[in-house]
Amino acid sequence: MRGGGLLVAGTTSDAGKSVVTAGICRWLVRQGIKVAPFKGQNMSLNSFVTREGAEIGRAQAMQAQAARVEPTALMNPVLLKPGSDRSSQVVLMGKPVGELSARGFFGGSGGSSPGKRLHGGRQKELFEPVLACLEELRSTYDAVICEGAGSPAEINLRRTDIVNMGIARAARLPVVVVGDIDRGGVFAQFFGTTALLAPEDQELIAGYLVNKFRGDVTLLEPGLDMLHGLTGRRTFGVLPYAHGLGIDEEDGLRVSLRGAVRESVVAPPVGEDVLRVAVCAVPLMSNFTDVDALAAEPGVVVRFVDRAEELVDADLVVVPGTRGTVRALAWLRERGLADALVRRAAEGRPVLGICGGFQVLGEHIEDEVESKAGAVDGLGLLPVRVRFAPGKTLARPVGEALGERVEGYEIHHGVADVRGGEPFLDGCRVGAVWGTHWHGSLESDGFRRAFLREVAAAAGRRFVPAPDTSFGALREEQLDRLGDLIEEHADTDALLRLIEQGPPKGLPFVPPGAP
């Protein structure tokens, strides 16, 4: 097999496209098939830096890990990073090329002058580069598993679609539509999604995959039979609800602000105490996956917070990355969280700032790029002055901290001028306040354990890090679980035929079709 392919679409955002794509990739690679993930256009604040210095969505980096290949910009050629409800930074082939309004990107007028480098700032102009990336992957890999975005039946966006049926039709990809049955209405979603597509698009819809099912599958089967009668399309599997996967998110934070991070199961502590971590849920929060490694530690409880009183019992407060540093700073002040952080620092209670959170903890910010707010005072907890540069720093640094080797990745416009304190990665430390631009540093096991020992000592907790927690091994276990879900609950023979042979012939048209 060479150049086989499949598009995993969804009835809605968050239907499970990312994890199903990852699961199929892991199942295929376990069969000895060389596979790569692909998503033509992604909208996410959770991103990653490849080894060649390209920024892509973290979901595609996770899927590449599932496929046991190195992630590249080819796997996510267009990344949109929201900066507000109406505009996003456009990252093309791993590099930022401008800031555009939604109208300017999807069609119509709008967009700042840097975005004009996007051939007028129109999404449809990116179709050929996206298709070229897909074809390059298909020429290199046995199979490419593509992920759609949102729903393929977003009829207002079909004309300029470069990620769902537009790419499927151009590349003649069979499409499997995923629906989240846990939210209800999955039969209507499957039928309606199909019925709102043009005949040429419907020819590619091979069938459906039910996700997050709880209960007795035999009770579902009559509905699946009726769906087949109505659409002429079969269901390729019913995936059970799987708890505690903790796989990288794409569109946003799925849990409530005061819930535990994702569905993480907190193991009993090794020492006598647990360690409580509060993460400030700042606006436009990016790469909140940084705290996943903390949540994986036995005895560490991680929660997201938005009120000052929720910091009182926290042993560590994390101020995470954000696409809006100045906006996050104002939010912290409005909610009293800024004053609470200043009090913590004065009391010697631990605070960690990562990327935008690091910038917030500094003395001064000069921003004519992201917010265009000009000079803004930071919280003054670290002797750092930040100036926003037009160019973005994208790097995969390696260093040492607390006597341990550390790997990370950097994604930021802010340039930090560190004027004191103890060196800490690329940032500094003053007392129990740490700051760094490095995302992913806590995934380095030895460093994470050393850092948690420092936090426990400063917090006065008898917490002991587990000596054998391997975040990398836990992630591999999670990806294997996704592969198991596909292998055990999907018709893998039928999926493989789709990947190898393309869309089935003679699929019936479901009226009314696209308007």
Which of 326, 439, 444 minimizes the C-alpha distance to 393? 439
Q: Please confirm, yes or no, whether 439 is among the known catalytic residues.
A: yes
Question: Which residues share a beta bridge with 35?
Answer: 143
The string of DSSP codes covering 320-360 is -EES-HHHHHHHHHHTTHHHHHHHHHHTT--EEEETHHHHH
Question: 145-183 burial string, b = 16+ CB within 10 Å, else e?
Answer: bbbbbbbbbeeebbebbbbbbbbbbebebbbbbbbbbee
Q: How many CB atoms lie within 10 A of CB 215?
A: 10
Whole-angstrom distance, CA of residue 84 vs CA of residue 91: 16
The pair of three-digit structure tokens given for residue 503, joined into one six-digit string: 């869309």
Q: What are phi and psi of 240, to 5 degrees?
A: -70, 160
Q: One of 412, 413, 437, 439 is an active-site residue; which one?
A: 439
> In this structure, what is the dihedral angle of CA atoms 105, 107, 112, 114, given to the nearest 10 degrees?
60
Going by their DSSP bridges, the two strands 398-401 and 374-377 should be labelled as: unpaired
Alpha-carbon distance 468 to 405, whole Å? 16
Q: Which helix (H) or strand (E) holds 482?
A: helix 471-489
Retrieve residue 493's tokens.
């023979």
Measure the CA–CA gap between 328 and 321, rounded to whole angstroms: 9
| Nearest residue to 147 (alpha-carbon basis) of 3, 15, 286, 1 | 15
C-alpha–C-alpha distance, residues 142 and 5, integer Å:
8
Query: Helix (H, G, I), strand (E, B), or coil: what is residue 250?
Result: coil
Q: Which residues, listed in sequence order, are joined to residue 98 by a DSSP beta bridge?
A: 90
Q: Which two tokens stand for residue 148?
A: 């759609």
Q: Cβ-count burial of 262 within 10 angstroms (0-12 exposed, 13-18 middle, 19+ buried)? A: buried
Decide if 373 contacts 326 (C-beta within 8 A). Answer: yes
What residues contact residue 184 under an 8 Å CB cut-off, 6+ apart? Answer: none
Query: Which of 208, 203, 64 is CA-nearest to residue 137?
Result: 64
Among 146, 355, 413, 437, the one annotated catalytic: 355
Residue type for 215, please? G
Taking the CA atoms of residue 294, residue 478, residue 355 and residue 335 in that order, the dihedral angle to the nearest 10 degrees is: -60
Active centre residues (catalytic)? 355, 439
